[in-house]
Structure 1
Amino acid sequence: MDMWNHKELPHALRVSVIKKELTGPQAWRARKALDGGPCSPTAFKAMMNALKKADPKIFKIADKLIDRRPPPSDPEPTAARQNWAYQRDAVTTALEIARLPKELFRSPAQLPEGKKAPKSVFDNDTEMKSIEDILVVRDTVIRDPDWQFVTDQLYPAKTFDNGATKLTVVLANKLELERQLGVDLIYVNETLNAVVFVQYKMLRGRDGEDGYRPDGQLEAEIARMDAAARTLAECGVDDSCDGYRFGTDPFFWKFCRKLLTHNDQSHVPGYYLPLSYWKKLIDTPQARGNRGGLIVYRETFGRRHFTPSAFIDMIARGWAGTTTLQTSVLVPYLAEIMRGKTGVVLAVETTRSVDEDLEEPPEFVERKFVPPKPRHPGRKRKVIQL
């Protein structure tokens, strides 16, 4: 409704008169709304019908305040628009994990059109010098020397401040990060020493009704995640309270529906799944289509997924992600890549305890050479001169 287009009514009309004219199954909701509070679309329609019966002249004025133009259609999901939506959703998610107001980040829901359309959600920032679509986010005051370069803005980064909490979003070089980890979002929670990785996948269709079909790119991304997970597993078991996690899987998928809408101002609607659960899900009949092909829908997940609010709360409280031991290995690794160094390898150095007894070397058994028996005894061997 156009609430700023004020019109003077010809005379007053009591609310009780409108209530008497209310009929239908939603009449009770309309009566409750007339006393103050929200009103559903069906109850509002019943309210307007009652107003028309009570006073046609006032109804005519009120009816003109309603904007019945259809909302603009959603744009086609081009690669640039999807990239914009991924970045915007990642920054919004990071702000909520760090418990910072989303109002600190002002970005339109849709990619602005024009001759020089921006490719990054931070393009309007004068400190941005390059454009990439992989985000590494880090919360709280940076105290690790390996991350001190972030505060110097050597790479495109934006810092959000709110009291004692700082959130730095870095648009890092995606080539090395994605080649080695296969993820779109890396969240480093320095407060709780945890790192979480998120890979975005889009459900086809306006509301995700066409589902998602895994392809070769997904297999390559999973292979990178598995390689990183095997390396992190070499860190050993973290028995500390700070290192306790619900599970050992720091990798998550976010399956998005309605990726691009005209009025989305918050998260891209979607569902979070751990990588380990995804591997089990694709082996079930529920993940197969009518012709036996691999495809998942919203119904495939059922209730076994994390909503954005549940995921954010879990990550913010440190119940998921890498352990403190694994985080200590990841921090310098990620920092080296963000400094632009190529060919960086994620590795874990294991050292033997001084008190640990060395294993006794195996006994060496001397092997004796036994010449083979001659094939023809008594005959001289033929000599060939070269």
Structure 2
Amino acid sequence: MYWLTRLGFTQRERERTDTQRKFRARHIAKLDEPVVLDDLVQKLGDRLQHRVKSEGQQTEAAGKALLDALMRVRPQARSIVRYISAAATGFDIRPESKAEQSLAVQRDGTLAIARMAGMSIPELARWDPPAEQLSDDTPPPAYLKLLHQPSGRAPVGLVDHAETTTIEDLLITRDTENLAGWQGAPTGDVAWRQFQQNGQRLYIGYANRTTAEQISGADIIYYNETRKSLVLVQYKKLDSRQTGYYYPDSDSNLEKELSRLRAIDRYASYFRRPGDDHRLCADPSWIKLCPPESVIPQADVMVPGMYFSRQHFETLLADKRIADGRGGTRRFGYKNVPSYLDNTMFTRLVETAMIGTAGVSTDLVRWQITRSLKAGRAAIIGFLTGEEAPQSVRNTRRRQQR
């Protein structure tokens, strides 16, 4: 008699010989209550019972029928099946779930920081979705804590320094001891990761003080210590994925948030000096409008979106082309916005130091993280340190990685 004790995702790999076949099992999870395999088979119709194989990979029809039978016998196994399916193909996001939407934004911000730093880090796209449905009345989990770690070990290039609920307990290397205390009072969730590539170190952090229901949005706060350059990206959502719009007049937080962005731009401008490095845009504040996500994939793909500098965004607010909604309602969408930066253009401009502040100290970064958290926003933080190679060298490395 055989017992079904665990579930996992299996994938057939290249056959080793004519008589041997190799399967790889991943994302294995234990059932709370084992099931006698013959009991499941007996619940199938006569036609499918004869198709069930005693070993090896089942046909698609037989496999689906067995899973359906299992979930009738053990309804609690649905969460395990959902976890395995999400881990293997992608995590389905419920439109009404603020916690799951927050997780999608965290992931996008994490990938964006890596691209701003000019680093190729495939580990950032490999993650283990939560095993159970997320609740909006608790802080959403940190995406960084869900990064896939095979065999319980951190992937190459990934160093887990600390995961704590208070920043005071955070321990990271001497090179970034100035990060300690940046987030002030205790937070609901904190995570940091370190990556090393081409002689540079990239620290990516996440901090949040509120439950998913109370989160007002998310900010990317990226600081290049070598250039003394800060970039802040504030996320805003379109109302649908395909043909969605953002309606500024319906956003009760917008004016308060724009006031915050103006303040940080003025602060950065105060410290600007004639001898600073050239920038196409030396203000730190940017806004990304992006659609809500339906799936978080297992791939290095960012959420599509439109990037605007704070000044550009405010200029568009007065542009007649934006007021094309019903009754002259102002709205931002792909169909009516005359110009914007996409993911590739924006992250490339940050990487090449064409946008972002010049000459600012970490005091401004610390101040902005504090303001973001006090405003009820989640903070996705990037800190890059170490000498940079010339752009020609970085371009060569990029071509070699393709």
Indicate the TM-score class for this superposition, using the shorter chain for normalisation: 0.5 to 0.7
| Distance change in 2, residues 1:287/1:240 (3 Å) | same
Aligned residue among 122, 125, 138 for 2:144: 122
Map of 2:109 onto structure 1: 90
Contact kept? 1:146, 1:332, Cα under 8 Å? no
Aligned residue among 126, 130, 140 for 1:112: 130
Secondary structure of the corresponding residue to residue 94 of structure 2: coil
The alpha carbon displacement at 1:338 in A equals 11
**Aligned: 1:271 with 2:303:** no
Whose RCO is larger (CA < 8 A, sep 6+)? 2
Map of 1:79 onto structure 2: 98
Contact kept? 1:98, 1:165, Cα under 8 Å? no
Percent same amino acid among aligned pairs? 22
CA distance in 2, matches of 1:320, 1:220: 24
CA distance in 1, matches of 2:142, 2:317: 34
Aligned residue among 289, 293, 299 for 1:259: 293
CA distance in 1, matches of 2:259, 2:106: 24
**Aligned: 1:201 with 2:233:** no
Contact kept? 2:231, 2:284, Cα under 8 Å? yes
Secondary structure of the corresponding residue to residue 83 of structure 1: helix
Contact kept? 2:104, 2:296, Cα under 8 Å? no
Amino acid at match of 2:178: D
The alpha carbon displacement at 1:247 in A equals 2.3
| Greater Rg by CA | 1
Matches within 5 A, 1:227-376: 227-235=263-271, 237-242=272-277, 244-257=278-291, 259-261=293-295, 263=297, 265=299, 266-288=301-323, 289-302=325-338, 304-324=339-359, 326-327=360-361, 329-331=363-365, 333=367
Contact kept? 1:212, 1:296, Cα under 8 Å? yes
Amino acid at match of 1:271: M
Secondary structure of the corresponding residue to residue 184 of structure 1: strand
Secondary structure of the corresponding residue to residue 143 of structure 2: coil
CA distance in 2, matches of 1:115, 1:174: 21
The alpha carbon displacement at 1:201 in A equals 1.1
| Distance change in 2, residues 1:107/1:218 (3 Å) | farther
Amino acid at match of 1:104: E
CA distance in 1, matches of 2:103, 2:353: 28
**1 or 2, which has the higher strand percentage?**
2
Contact kept? 1:146, 1:335, Cα under 8 Å? no
Map of 1:221 onto structure 2: 257
**Aligned: 1:159 with 2:194:** yes
CA distance in 2, matches of 1:131, 1:93: 25
| Distance change in 2, residues 1:183/1:157 (3 Å) | same
Number of residues paired by the alignment? 256
What are the ranges of 5 or more consecutive residues in structure 1 without an aligned counterpart?
7-63, 66-70, 133-140, 176-181, 341-386
Contact kept? 1:206, 1:257, Cα under 8 Å? yes
Contact kept? 1:183, 1:221, Cα under 8 Å? no
For each residue in 1:240-286, what CA deviation from the matched residue of structure 2 results, as whole angstroms up to 9, or x when unmatched?
253x2112321111111352336472101111111101111111121
Amino acid at match of 1:228: I
For each residue in 1:326-350, what CA deviation from the matched residue of structure 2 results, as whole angstroms up to 9, or x when unmatched?
345414545888999xxxxxxxxxx
Secondary structure of the corresponding residue to residue 123 of structure 1: helix
CA distance in 2, matches of 1:142, 1:255: 37
CA distance in 2, matches of 1:76, 1:196: 31
Secondary structure of the corresponding residue to residue 99 of structure 1: coil
CA distance in 1, matches of 2:370, 2:357: 19
TM-score for the superposition, normalised by structure 2: 0.54
CA distance in 1, matches of 2:298, 2:181: 34
Secondary structure of the corresponding residue to residue 300 of structure 1: coil
**Aligned: 1:168 with 2:203:** yes
TM-score for the superposition, normalised by structure 1: 0.56
Contact kept? 2:99, 2:134, Cα under 8 Å? no
Amino acid at match of 1:297: G
The alpha carbon displacement at 1:115 in A equals 5.4
Contact kept? 1:199, 1:252, Cα under 8 Å? yes
Map of 2:223 onto structure 1: 188
Contact kept? 1:107, 1:121, Cα under 8 Å? no
Amino acid at match of 1:269: P
Map of 2:178 onto structure 1: 146
CA distance in 1, matches of 2:221, 2:332: 25
| Distance change in 2, residues 1:162/1:112 (3 Å) | same
